[in-house]
Amino acid sequence: MRLVQLLRSATAALICQILRFPRLSYSVNRVLMLAPALHQRLFRLAQESGIDTGLVRRAHPEEAFQPGNTRRRYLTRRGREIAADLLAASQVEGRRNTP
Amino acid sequence: MSFTKAVVRNRGEHDVFLALNGLLADSVMPIRREFAGILPSDRIRVWHAPGPVSECLAGNDERRLAAELLREDFLRSLQPDVIHISSLFEGYVDNAVTSIGAHDSTTAVTVSFFDLIPLLHRAQYLDPHPLYERFYTRKLSLIPRASKCLSISAFSANDGRKHLQLPADRFVNVSTAVDTKFRPIEIEPDTKRYTLGRLGIERPFVLYTGGADERKNIAKLVFAYAKLPEELRSKHQLILVGKLPAVETRAIEGAAASAGLTTDEIRLCGYVDDDQLIRLYNLCELFVMPSLYEGFGLPVLEAMRCGAPVIASNSSSLPEVLGCEEALFDPENTDAIRDKMAAVLTSGQFRARLVAHGKRHAARFSWDHTARSALDLWETLPRPKPHFHTSSAVHAELLINRLSRCLTFSGRESAAGLAACLAQNQISGMERQLLIDVSGVMERDSPSAEHRFVVACVREILHHPPAGLRAEPVYAVDGGDYMYAERFAVSSSGVADVSGADRPIRWQRGDVFLGLSTEYDLQVESAELYRRLRDDGVVVRFCVYDLSAVELSEQYEHYDDCHIQRRWLSIVTSCDGAIVLTKTSADVFRNWLDKPPHPVDHRFTITHLRPSVDKPTPARASAPDVQGADLVRVLASRPSFATVSNLEPHRGQAQILDAFELLWSEGFEANLVFIGKPGLGVEELAERIQGNPQLGRRLFWFCDVDDALLDTVYRSSACAVAASLSDGCGLSVLEAASRGLPLILRDIPVYREVAGDHAQYFTGAHGSVIATVVKKWMDRSATSTCPKPYDIALLDEQEFVEGLQARVLGAAFRPRQLLVDVSELVRTDAGAGIQRVVRSILQNWRLYPPEGLRVETVYASQGDIYRYAKHFGSPGARAHKHWQQKGDPIEYAPGDVFLGLDFQPVLVASNRDFFRQMRVQGVEVRFIVYDMLQARMPEYFPAGASTAFMQWLEVVGESDGAVCISESVANEFDAWLRESHEDRSEGFDTQWFHLGADINEPLSDSSMAPPNSPIEKGIDGRKRFLMVGTIEPRKGHTIVLDAFEILWAAGATVELHIVGKQGWLVEALARRIRGHSEFGEKLFWHSRVEDHELEAAYRDATCLIAASEGEGFGLPIVEAARHGLPVIARDIPIFREIAGTCAHYFDVDCPEALAERVRSWICLFEQSRHPRVEGVELLTWRESASQLERALNIARPYPSTRLETVPSRKV
């Protein structure tokens, strides 16, 4: 029992340390998301250890809030113009970042 | 909230906008309700960004950065002088977004500054939470970008200066306050017993409220309390109020136990609401605040306001808030805390002193005081500097590029999400474009008077753009499109040139297109673009300088220029208006429009603005052929007469040349200077000039002039001559006058209007006329008695632009939309009553649109969103039965009104979220309620129909209001709302109006065949009773048929004519009618009747029977009244409302009694004593549409439609 307690404390401390480095925590989190059960366990452990539970949940792009339905065919004329501009700009940006 | 309300209350002449985050959509409507009545709804604007963006979630960084850009871009579009962020450190766990200088670095930003608790207590707040530390540090780094930090106390201001190492004046203490509900109150004994009993308070108590963080120092308070003499402790309890996490509760309980306190002596009451808290403040013996660090310490102020004696620690802001030296203690010393508590609990005098001081001192803190301090501070901030012109396209590109850098698009749909937000922000923002057409300037290389006028105006507008408008010079290109004239704009602004190609124009509702310069060919080619602009809500107006094609049509008929100018004018008149520069031109224009055939848009107006004339401009280049000095010498050698305008037949240059040839032949020494390019029809004149022996000696002709040459000519000439037969505005005359040049002018109304008595005039077409006037002028000039131009009233371009803004642009502020739902009518026109209402109201609104509103028909279809049904039902559009064009999705902005005029319950219910979104955005959503029958009598409708109706009714009930078609329906609706949703009934607006019936117009189309009455099938001499309406259970057909069977059995010579289709749940009745022994003899059913046949039926019937048990309006009674047809009606409220005393009523449910009522009516009818329908009030559809407009209250003044309400500063 004490060993379990010890392991939990060590894991919680590790989580806390990882969360000090946002990029590292982001990467670790992405890997953990591949094993949802493990992620869930660690998530609960972090919660129970008093670590802000929001820290270890990754926002999924699908959760994105939008004003109304934003499928392309539902865009207003202005919206379609802006979407085209955004796509063009992102392509230019993509090319610029490609060696 | 309290601070913002106080700012709104104290705003004076300032304009205050609340910019709300659409990611926190649930908070928007409560905030709108809070500010209802104190801030116009359009001053609450909602911006959108893709979410989630909270910083505690990994993976939100890109979206958050995008949200910051979108937010700042939106705020910039409101054109504020100051942006205030009421809480900077938000967005860690929720979707709040705050930033400074992410996209807009020109507008002053202030922030409310509360404290630096996390920074100063790192170990407690930051070290254990790295992500929070990152969030906090990032927000902290924004503070230096703020122009001012509005601190809540002098202490927090000092703390900010000290720890953030910012200039001392960056922090200003505006203090803070608490709600006025914190005050001494009378507490009923029962309430007191209940409040204290619930919390386990049995004795007088010492109160603490607040958190349980380490800095709150609760442990010391507990230990100090434990040190009180037992006698005191036995008479009191220590009450800790506040939401405490379990860990902290355990810690306090542990401290209490180790201090020897029993659970009876200390109570942890947890969270209490404000009402309970106020009671506790009022009831406590003492309030203690032992905190080690506070930014302000609101509980101290709350307790003092409630009349509690308060003692507090002598650290941080608390001495400042408490304001009483003797009430302070050292929070680190439990003995000191104990002593102070004991002093209050044992000394009545000390206690009374603290209470009196508390009340006095607390009165110094008020939200109004804080708000006024903030407003005073904002007034001192510099306004955003007008930076050099950046076109909308360039600005948009900058934002798009920044967004594209911080967003990784996973596909087109992601871009669509962001685009949807940005598009909504743009339409919800306040920025509008003033698209100034400078095509003529861009196309022509030789400046004319018009050219110079346009350039001067554009320069003026760019330097002093009209309020709320972003001036954008644009020009037409081949193919009918327009481009932003970016380089032209930048050079006109006087800054360095920009590189890159010009971009195509973009527009949205509320923009203004001003055709300042004319270029007939290209503008005629752009007619389709102007139509699109107007369709999209852009106001399109043109300046008209030349009306010669109208005024001198006979002389010009054979020139192409004349035709194209007339085509151009016909395009102008199909737009929103023309601006002419003289009253004479306005009269000419109006006269031309009055003569057919000139189709003019009903919105078209002619505005007369006095012309302006540019001041002499600095030289740009020298003349190409004659050098400046030589020209001056030549022109100065003898009197020179200048005529400045393109060579055109109606300009009279040939007559001037005749005159001077005559003068030269007489040995008269004078120069003649023509300035202007040759137009059409002046080939002969051009040859005469070119071949004239005086050319280069006394005669000069400059086709291409620049400003320098023009200036040289004006400076060196003695007089200007204008012989035009027609001139739109006399710009060249004013130009000459502005340079002090005397004028010889043809006596035409325009020149008389412009120059008055300050010119020498001539009439006649012969050269000798001008020659005589020139000689006379020379004589008078020698004696200085010739008219001087100095007294001509000139306006400068600034005045012109001001006039333009006041009279042309002001009225064109972003028009509100009245989005009229025609979903059912678009799908199918069954000719039912509701659809007739929709058609009639729409027709009238198209002819007489509500003031300041654009009526836009919109529709939804299953699985799709609301789209525009542009031109639906308008003259020229295809028949609505075949109207299938798929329109653009609707866009909406604050101030728009959505009206559910059509009845499509399923679609409305499925768009419930969409209506909520519109209301969040500030759109008013209202529905027409035709009846409440399906709610009141669901048994009369097919299974499922009432379910759809009730779902529709729920959507109506959570909208802004309902407009019912009668007072009876309005009463029924209100009753339903009160019964079903008591919470919603307050603030919900229920109105009613009456439907129309055009009494002066036939119901049917006059082009159709003469009406063929279905009733004529009966036998003359019989009394014909008519029932009109779909056969449904509630309509009362059964009882009427029963009654007539009794009448027929008794030998009455009466016919019963039923007009209407078979509806639902009446199969048995239909069989009974068709199989009736009198069917076709005395009983008739006309199930397919056209409008014109119905009209004939009303004409030929004896009486209308309205037997329905429930109706929304009772249109058949109105239609019967229109034809003078008497009415027997069931006695229900709606029929009483419509027919009043003009009908014979029955209130019976048995056929025998009804038969008796019909018999009694026949007796009265035969004696001509029956109730007459002439007293029924009949409305035309126009009156009905006006009633509906009033019921909607849409014509009320709306802040954003009036320029004068836009004050000097916005916060």
Write out pLDDT tens, residues B281-326: 999 999 999 999 999 999 999 999 999 999 999 999 999 999 999 9
Specify which residues B207 forms β-bridges with.
Answer: B239, B287
Mean pLDDT to the nearest integer, B815-821: 89
Contact state of B51 with A82 under an 8 Å Cβ cutoff: no
B10–chain A Cβ distance below 8 A for any pair? no
B535–chain A Cβ distance below 8 A for any pair? no
Contact state of A22 with B413 under an 8 Å Cβ cutoff: no
Provide, as residue numbers in chain A, all residues whose Cβ is less than 8 Å from the Cβ of B413: 70-72
| Residue B1199, pLDDT above cutoff 60 | no
CA pair distance A9, A2, nearest whole angstrom:
10
Q: Among B104-108, B379-383, B550-554, B869-873, where is mean pLDDT lowest?
A: B550-554
Task: Check residue A65 and give its pLDDT.
Answer: 44
Chain A nearest C-alpha distance from B468 (Å): 20
Chain B nearest C-alpha distance from A65 (Å): 5
Contacts of B1197 (CB under 8 A, 6+ apart): none
B123–chain A Cβ distance below 8 A for any pair? no
Provide, as residue numbers in chain B, all residues whose Cβ is less than 8 Å from the Cβ of A89: 397, 400-401, 403-404
Interface mutation vs chain B, best among A51, A69, A80, A97, most B CBs within 10 Å: A69
Q: Tell me which of B635 and B904 has the higher pLDDT.
A: B904
Task: Check residue B385 and give its pLDDT.
Answer: 62
A64–chain B Cβ distance below 8 A for any pair? yes
B914–chain A Cβ distance below 8 A for any pair? yes
pLDDT tens digits for B536-551?
A: 889 899 988 888 777 7
Task: Check residue B209 and give its pLDDT.
Answer: 94
Q: Are B600 and B593 in contact (CB under 8 A)?
A: yes
A65–chain B Cβ distance below 8 A for any pair? yes
Chain A nearest C-alpha distance from B507 (Å): 8
Q: What percent of chain B has pLDDT over 90?
A: 44
pLDDT tens digits for B927-937?
A: 999 999 999 99
Query: Which residues between 35 and 54 in chain A have a beta carbon less than 8 angstroms from any beta carbon of chain B?
Result: 50-52, 54
pLDDT tens digits for B962-975?
A: 999 999 999 999 99
- Secondary-structure breakdown of chain A: helix, strand, coil percentages, each rounded to the nearest 5: 70, 0, 25
Q: Among B102-116, B571-585, B1071-1085, where is mean pLDDT lowest?
A: B571-585
DSSP codes, B533-575: HHHTT-EEEEEE---HHHHTHHHHTTSHHHHHHHHHHHHHHTS
DSSP codes, B280-348: HHHH-SEEEE--S--SS-HHHHHHHHTT--EEEESSTTHHHHH--GGGEE-TT-HHHHHHHHHHHHH-H
Burial of B164 (0-12, 13-18, 19+ CB in 10 A): middle
Task: Check residue B500 and give its pLDDT.
Answer: 60
Residue of A16, A74, A90 lying closest to B404 (CB–CB): A90
| Residue B683, pLDDT above cutoff 90 | no
Closest alpha carbon within chain A to B246? A50
CA pair distance B374, B175, nearest whole angstrom:
9
| Residue B627, pLDDT above cutoff 60 | no
Closest alpha carbon within chain B to A24? B58
Contact state of B396 with A85 under an 8 Å Cβ cutoff: yes
Token pair of A48, please?
């129970």
| Residue B558, pLDDT above cutoff 80 | no
Please give, one letter per residue, the 3-state secondary structure of B3-70. HHHHHHHCCCCCECCEEEEHHHHHHHHHHHHHHCCCCCHHHEEEECCCCCCCCCCECCHHHHHHHHHH
Mean pLDDT to the nearest integer, B69-92: 92
Q: Tell me which of B704 and B81 has the higher pLDDT.
A: B81
Task: Check residue B1007 and give its pLDDT.
Answer: 45
Specify which residues B1146 forms β-bridges with.
Answer: B1130
Q: Are B955 and B913 in contact (CB under 8 A)?
A: no
Q: What is the mean pLDDT of chain B?
A: 85
A62–chain B Cβ distance below 8 A for any pair? no
Query: Which residues between 697 and 736 in chain B have a beta carbon less than 8 angstroms from any beta carbon of chain A?
Result: none
Q: How many CB pairs under 8 A join A and B?
A: 163
Token pair of A86, please?
């955004």
Token pair of B738, please?
């502005």
CA pair distance B1125, B1101, nearest whole angstrom:
7
Contact state of B424 with A93 under an 8 Å Cβ cutoff: no
Task: Check residue B618 and give its pLDDT.
Answer: 37
Contact state of A86 with B401 under an 8 Å Cβ cutoff: no
| Residue B1016, pLDDT above cutoff 50 | yes
Chain B nearest C-alpha distance from A3 (Å): 24
Most confident of A26-30, B417-421, B578-582: B417-421
- pLDDT level of residue B833 (50, 70, 90 thresholds): confident
CA pair distance B542, B519, nearest whole angstrom:
11
Mean pLDDT to the nearest integer, B604-628: 50
Mean pLDDT to the nearest integer, B413-418: 78
Specify which residues B477 forms β-bridges with.
Answer: B481
| Residue B1205, pLDDT above cutoff 50 | no
Task: Check residue B660 and give its pLDDT.
Answer: 93
Number of residues in chain A = 99
Q: Tell me which of B626 and B420 has the higher pLDDT.
A: B420
Chain A nearest C-alpha distance from B873 (Å): 22
Task: Check residue A23 and give its pLDDT.
Answer: 66
Q: Tell me which of B162 and B1195 has the higher pLDDT.
A: B162
Residue of B22, B59, B400 lying closest to A89 (CB–CB): B400
Q: Among B25-39, B345-359, B452-466, B1136-1150, where is mean pLDDT lowest?
A: B452-466
Mean pLDDT to the nearest integer, B987-1001: 79
Task: Check residue B615 and give its pLDDT.
Answer: 47
Instruction: Give the CA distances from residue B381 to residues B85, B146, B378, B384, in Å, rounded to whole numbers and listed in that order.
Output: 15, 11, 5, 9
Q: Tell me which of B619 and B393 has the higher pLDDT.
A: B393
- pLDDT level of residue B942 (50, 70, 90 thresholds): confident
| Residue B477, pLDDT above cutoff 80 | yes
Nearest partner of B55 among B23, B24, B91, B85, judged by Cα: B91
Query: Which residues between 854 and 913 in chain B have a beta carbon less than 8 angstroms from any beta carbon of chain A?
Result: 865, 888-891
Q: Are B1082 and B1046 in contact (CB under 8 A)?
A: no
pLDDT tens digits for B735-748?
A: 888 888 888 999 98
Most confident of B182-186, B775-779, B994-998: B182-186
| Residue B1011, pLDDT above cutoff 60 | no
The separation between the first and the last C-alpha atoms of chain A, rounded to the nearest angstrom, is: 55
- pLDDT level of residue B836 (50, 70, 90 thresholds): confident
Q: Among B29-33, B138-142, B250-254, B430-434, where is mean pLDDT lowest?
A: B430-434
B409–chain A Cβ distance below 8 A for any pair? yes
Task: Check residue B182 and give its pLDDT.
Answer: 94
Residue of B60, B401, B427 lying closest to A59 (CB–CB): B60
pLDDT 10s digit of each residue in chain A, 99 long?
678 878 888 888 888 778 767 667 767 877 776 776 787 788 777 766 666 544 434 444 444 445 555 567 788 888 988 888 888 888 776 665 554
Residue of B536, B888, B917 lying closest to A67 (CB–CB): B917
> Edge-to-edge, what's the strand order for the sheet holding B961-964?
B867-868, B853-859, B816-821, B897-900, B924-929, B961-964, B989-992
Residue of B58, B128, B427 lying closest to A58 (CB–CB): B58
CA pair distance B80, B756, nearest whole angstrom:
46
